[in-house]
Amino acid sequence: MRRRIVFLGPPGAGKGTQAQMLAEFLGVPVIATGDLLRAEVAADTPLGRQAREFMEQGALVPDPLVMEILKRRLAQPDCEQGFILDGFPRTLAQAQALEELLGPQGRAIEAVLELEVPEAVLVERFSGRRVCRHCGHVYHLHTHPPRCAGTCDRCGDALIQRADDTPATVRTRLQIYHQATEPLIHFYRERGLLHRIDGSGDIDRIQHATREVVVAQDDTQGA
């Protein structure tokens, strides 16, 4: 079973949802750098104060800041049996830094799952996306609505639209994905780690495909 996993894919591809479902199956934590950064901003830490402006514009937070929170999180005991990275790495420099961090510890990444979703579907997903302002659980107005409109099923707090889910910011984030993050597809394919998964359509079917990759024993399945 592969337990050190990276999810790749454009913003809105469903990485968060799939990563959470896979984490429950594998019994390992999801490490979402976006969530870690939002927590720093909310707590108004020095790191959060530096990251805030980049995030509001939909730009990438500088690598040293992201590496600092990632290293801190990966050092926690719950990551010993594995982890799923969601939203990291986003640049070649981050992917290289991750290799340098994990390789010497014998904890190298074992599979990279790329969720492929057509751009038109992404834009639709963003416009309907709502998140709980307290626990961060993600909903969609049409495909995954809460039981009671505007309220989180899990904790009862209010659902909000993320400040960076506006159409202009979404365009910036998609552009950054194409420029900075897409080259990682080649990087991981060369290493035999890349698995492409059709990320449009039914959530359970996509999850089934991701589980097939993590339980596969032979390493010749890379795309």
Tell me the catalytic residues.
15, 90, 129, 162, 173
Q: How far is the CB of 63 from ligand AMP (least distance, A)?
A: 7
Exposure class string for 81-113: b at 16+ Cβ within 10 A, else e:
ebbbbbbbbbbeebbebbeeeeeeeebebbbbb
The full DSSP string for 24-71 is HHHT--EEEHHHHHHHHHHTT-HHHHHHHHHHHTTPPPPHHHHHHHHH
Cis omega (within 30 of 0) on the bond before 89? yes
Taking alpha carbons only, the member of 162, 88, 152, 154 closest to residue 126 is 162
Residue 23 in contact with residue 207, Cβ under 8 Å?
no
Under rule CB under 6 A, how many of the chain's residues touch ligand AMP?
Answer: 17
Q: How far is the CB of 1 from ligand AMP (least distance, A)?
A: 25
Q: Look up residue 200 and give its two tokens.
A: 């449009």
Stretch that binds ligand AMP, among 29-37, 105-113, 131-139, 199-207 (CB under 6 A): 29-37
Residue nearest to ligand AMP (CB): 34
- Determine which residue in the list 2, 73, 90, 125 makes contact with ligand AMP, applying CB under 6 A: 90
Distance (Å, rounded) from C-alpha 33 to C-alpha 213?
A: 23
Q: How far is the CB of 193 from ligand AMP (least distance, A)?
A: 18
- Does 10 help bind ligand AMP (rule: CB under 6 A)? no
Q: How far is the CB of 126 from ligand AMP (least distance, A)?
A: 10
- Determine which residue in the list 5, 28, 31, 61 makes contact with ligand AMP, applying CB under 6 A: 61
Stretch that binds ligand AMP, among 56-64, 110-118, 143-151, 211-219 (CB under 6 A): 56-64
Q: How far is the CB of 104 from ligand AMP (least distance, A)?
A: 21
- Does 58 help bind ligand AMP (rule: CB under 6 A)? yes
Please enumerate in sequence order all residues whose Cβ is within 8 A of that of 60, keeping only pairs 6 or more positions apart, or say none: 54, 66, 90, 91, 176, 180
Q: Which residues bind ligand AMP (CB under 6 A)?
A: 11, 33-34, 37, 54-55, 58-61, 66, 87-88, 90, 94, 164, 173
